[in-house]
Structure 1
């Protein structure tokens, strides 16, 4: 079947809102696909602003600064899907989105290389103490000195979190001649000559540079605290391009001031300004051999273009074909189109008897189901039905009447 050119809903009436200066690749993607109502804003919106703005929005694109709360979702009566044009989805209330049957998608791999390269670059800057020498040169002071400056080759890199980014960092580090040790909460197959350790303490006590690549949740909050910092190898370097809540910055500042640690690179913070130009403070400011960057680990032209393509395509696949691959809320389904049918999506609360009720309603009215797909999670079920074109209007009406229904939509 050729790629579908039409949906059941007029494309010019589908409202798409993109926030936080999402790549123009996303705007072009949807306009090339025939969607003319695409609005792009450069910044994030507050909860109050979002509630007003989202009323008639069908697809919403955000990055990491926009918080999608239950109140926002309650106001989003037409919302079908949220695209997080970034790695994480923790800025979205996933429980509320699931209950509303709103698909939440993201781009977990698109900026992996950008972050990994910056980790290696920062490692070189810190282990050579370039930060302090650069500052002195700008102030007119000549600091030509090899003391305390080292090569990466032969040093040990400790990776906490051996996932998509952690493994990329591992590969690059070995190319520089480094030894790699890592810890992950889940057993992972080492790449190259990397060696798994049983605990975080095993990693930080032997590594010259420690880099963090873990998600933000209850188990990782203040993962690096005053107690674990005591086990760091003297003079070692800490890099955090993961999540802001993972490191206790007060404790880190104390270790740096006391000389227990030799340097740090921090890109994420427990609190971050809403927009460029806003005032920003952290306990790490004005400390020697410390790199502070404004959450730019994945901010490269290549990464933003990749993310723009990736998330836009996922949103498009759901909107036009009902495909939910990579969804964090509605169960993930990937399915081929069917010739000569109309496709109907049915999202419902996951209780016994719903699928039986769907099939009973349709069979009683002699509506032939050409193909049917079902997947559930703890909260909801997702059914995709390909039915006879002549009877699809009747089928849609009947499916809306099924008890426990959350959303029903004809795709094509």
Structure 2
């Protein structure tokens, strides 16, 4: 029986999807686990579900080779060694669309609040001061929103902002089709110079680390606002602090941080704490009931499709084979080194055991090839042992 182990309080909708597919052996954990406890929990896992706090590296895949697939119940996948998983035959899935609206709404809401100086006014009223003034407070209508990274979320932010009357410009390293009246600009510097509000929607990693540094902040309009709901490493926090304290920027909102607390009991360590013109939220951009339910279903459905049929469509690290209706008496999932003659070797080995191939689908990615073969004939332990023992094989399973 396939055992599914879920960490970090994944929405019950995922378990509902598994149960509907007949996958009822599900173990859930309400949080991420310390390294020793994590290893203990992974001992019997065939499919693993995580969010952003659980990290899976190559050493863990080596230690637990029975893990067949990983589902990241979020957008980001940098908490998983994707190349390490690929080389060990483990596809990784995520949810690139399900929390798009939730993040976009938060970003637009924060932009409006900061343009109106609501965080400062709110704090002052709580302290008993009635500072009723229009100084430094602006409407969103007519202001320019600059979006860095015009993907699923960035483009949705632009659509909502246009509905509020904002002018939208964006910069992306890839050519993107503008939605509505959004307009692409050719460089980051040009975007920063024009935007009243800058919103970041880029992936993490070396290429985007500290792209908003002291130099970038100096290129922004005086009095502009910065919003980051993407990855904590893309902003130089000390440089942002200095730009806010000096008055060069009028406000900022951050939902992500370079180093985030691992639990409710651990405080956030950031120089931005206490600044009246800064909104700080605990990585909740996608944390709405609607988005978490949608994410639970989306990723669970991908894991079910893989577990029951070998489908890898939508995997972020693996050769993608879409859903194919099963034919024959068995389906063999064969992950192998991407070398000349690999498919011929696989077919020959199956023929030696009297298996007739009804249909076969192959895709490759980098060093890895993935073949889904529907066969007629008995696929016993001897067949699997032969296939698994061949030097070209990375892993082999049957569904």
Shorter chain as denominator, the TM-score bin is over 0.9
Equivalent runs, 1:253-292 vs 2, <5 Å: 253-292=241-280
SS in structure 2 at match of 1:202: helix
Task: State the TM-score, normalized to the length of structure 1.
Answer: 0.94
Partner of residue 203 from structure 1, selected from 191, 195, 198: 191
Does the alignment pair 1:375 with 2:363? yes
Query: Mean alpha-carbon deviation: is it higher for 220-229 or for 397-406?
Result: 397-406
Residue pairs, 1:102-117, within 5 angstroms: 102-117=90-105
The equivalences for 1:134-145 within 5 A come to 134-145=122-133
Candidates 52, 56, 71, aligned match of 2:40? 52
Aligned to 1:247: 235
User: Could you say what secondary structure the match of 1:230 adopts?
Assistant: helix
Instruction: Identify which range, 304-313 or 273-282, moves more after superposition.
Output: 273-282
Residue 379 (structure 1) shift: 1.8
Match of 2:177 among 181, 189, 207: 189
Q: Which runs of no fewer than 5 residues in structure 1 stay unpaired?
A: 1-12
2:297 aligns with 309
Partner of 2:134: 146
The total of aligned residue pairs comes to 399
Kindly indicate whether residue 359 of structure 2 is the aligned counterpart of residue 359 of structure 1: no
CA contact (8 A) 2:243 2:249 kept: yes
Q: C-alpha deviations, 1:355-407, integer Å up to 9, x for none?
A: 11112223344421000111111121101110004456664344223322111
Q: Could you tell me whether the CA contact under 8 Å between 1:362 and 1:398 is conserved in 2?
A: no
Counterpart selection for 2:154 from 166, 182, 189: 166
TM-score (norm 2): 0.97
- CA distance, structure 2, for counterparts of residue 330 and residue 180 of structure 1: 35
Cα shift at 1:282: 0.7
* Aligned position for 1:10: none
300-309 or 94-103, larger mean C-alpha shift:
94-103
8 Å Cα contact 2:68/2:91 also seen in 1 = yes
Matches within 5 A, 1:34-113: 34-113=22-101
Q: Per the alignment, in what secondary structure is the counterpart of residue 351 of structure 2?
A: helix
Alignment of 1:368-407 (within 5 A): 368-390=356-378, 395-407=383-395
| Separation in 1, partners of 2:352, 2:40 | 43
Q: Indicate conservation of the 8 Å contact 1:55/1:77, yes or no.
A: no
CA RMSD across the alignment: 1.4
In 2, the alpha carbon distance for the partners of 1:231 and 1:211 equals 15
Task: Give how far 1:281 is off.
Answer: 1.7
Give the superposition deviation at 1:49: 2.4
The gaps in structure 2 that reach 5 residues or longer are none
Pair 1:218 & 2:209 matched: no
Distance change in 2, residues 1:391/1:184 (3 Å): closer
Counterpart in the other structure of 1:319: 307
- 8 Å CA contact 2:319–2:370 kept in 1: the answer is yes
Using the alignment, how far apart are the partners of 1:386 and 1:34 within structure 2? 22
Q: More deviation in 36-45 or 308-317?
A: 36-45
DSSP 3-state at the match of 1:384: strand
Q: Structure 1 residues 117, 200: closer, same or farther in 2, change over 3 A? A: same
Check whether the contact 2:43–2:64 (CA below 8 A) recurs between aligned residues: yes
Report the Cα distance in structure 1 between the residues aligned to 2:21 and 2:184, rounded to whole angstroms: 46
Q: Say whether residues 1:331 and 2:319 are aligned partners.
A: yes
**C-alpha distance 391-225 of structure 1, shift in aligned 2 (>3 A):** closer
